[in-house]
Amino acid sequence: MWAVPRPIRGGRGVHTGQMTDLHCPMCPCDSLLPYDACCGPLLSTDRLATTAQELMRSRYTAYFYGNREHLWRTWHPKTRPNPVTVDPETEWTGLTVHETVDGGPDDETGVVEFTATHKGGLVHERSTFARRAGRWFYLSDEG
């Protein structure tokens, strides 16, 4: 059975509500996969991301749903703000991945360039990721 998370303390995503053949909602990260086969297990801590891009997509989905807990868990301790905040007025509308450098299952670092759109604008970022104790973490924006 699939379950779509309810927004947690902020975050408002705008999703088309497209359904798969199994009537499971598509993931907001625009992977074209059902939520439960994509970012859902990462946000619910059922499994860890295996690549930097997978972690980045799950973090977009966390912003989409306002899930600060996932953002906190996946932010590298050396660069993580305290507290992690989510703007409840931002309505996320889409994600496009432009490039991924390294960040695979056998890499220790990776870079993902993406554009996340929202009502009123966009965020273009080249994010760096690092693995620590076998887990991927968001490190920083290359700028």
CATH code of the domain covering residue 31: 3.10.450.50
Question: Would you say residue 92 lies in a domain?
Answer: yes
User: What digits encode the pLDDT tens for the residues 90-126?
Assistant: 999 999 999 999 999 999 999 999 999 999 999 999 9
Query: What is the pTM for the complete model shown?
Result: 0.85
Pair 104, 55: CB distance under 8 Å: no
Its domain, for residue 115, covers 12-141
The C-alpha angle with vertex 33 and arms to 32 and 35, in degrees rounded to 5, equals 125
- Residue 2, classed as helix, strand or coil, is coil
User: What digits encode the pLDDT tens for the residues 24-59?
Assistant: 689 999 999 999 999 999 999 999 999 999 999 999
User: What digits encode the pLDDT tens for the residues 58-91?
Assistant: 999 999 999 999 999 999 999 999 999 999 999 9
Q: Which residues pair with 121 in a beta bridge?
A: 118
- CA neighbor of 56 nearest in space, from 121, 126, 131, 138: 138
Please give the tally of structural domains in the chain: 1
Count other Cβ atoms within 10 Å, centred on residue 70: 24
